[in-house]
Amino acid sequence: MLKSKVLIAILAIWASTGAFAGTTLGFQTLEGLMSGFGEEHMLVRTIENLTAGGEGCEAGTSLMVLLNTHMEYKTNQALLMLALQGNYEVSIYVDGCVEGNKLEIKSVRVQG
């Protein structure tokens, strides 16, 4: 009996992990970076409308947010500023949605 309960628990956890998986967005062109709205997060806008997919955001958004509580905030902030200044494309890993229409940035990759 205990083995079957453990097996059911393991299968439930395994089946639900996909619901929490983030999304890597294909290479995007940055349109602008914004900050200074009280919470000091960095808002990121791309030229392309993003498909929010399973992230829970409204479809067709082009806004993302890098939360200032992110452990790599300064590194990701620097990469985003570099990409905007140099007109480089970025691939951004997002996971979740903030305030209904902003994808939450987890990591940034710059295409040189």
Q: So what's the pLDDT on residue 10?
A: 54
Answer whether 0.85 is exceeded by the pTM: no
Q: So what's the pLDDT on residue 105?
A: 92
Q: So what's the pLDDT on residue 8?
A: 57
Per domain, the residue ranges of the chain are 22-111
Ordered per-residue pLDDT tens for the chain, 112 residues = 665 554 455 544 444 444 457 888 888 899 999 986 666 789 999 888 776 555 667 766 778 899 999 999 999 999 999 999 999 999 999 888 887 778 899 999 998 7
Dihedral sign of CA atoms 53, 54, 55, 57 in order:
positive
CB neighbours of 6 closer than 8 A, spacing ≥ 6?
Answer: none
Q: So what's the pLDDT on residue 91?
A: 92
* CATH class of the region 22-111: mainly beta
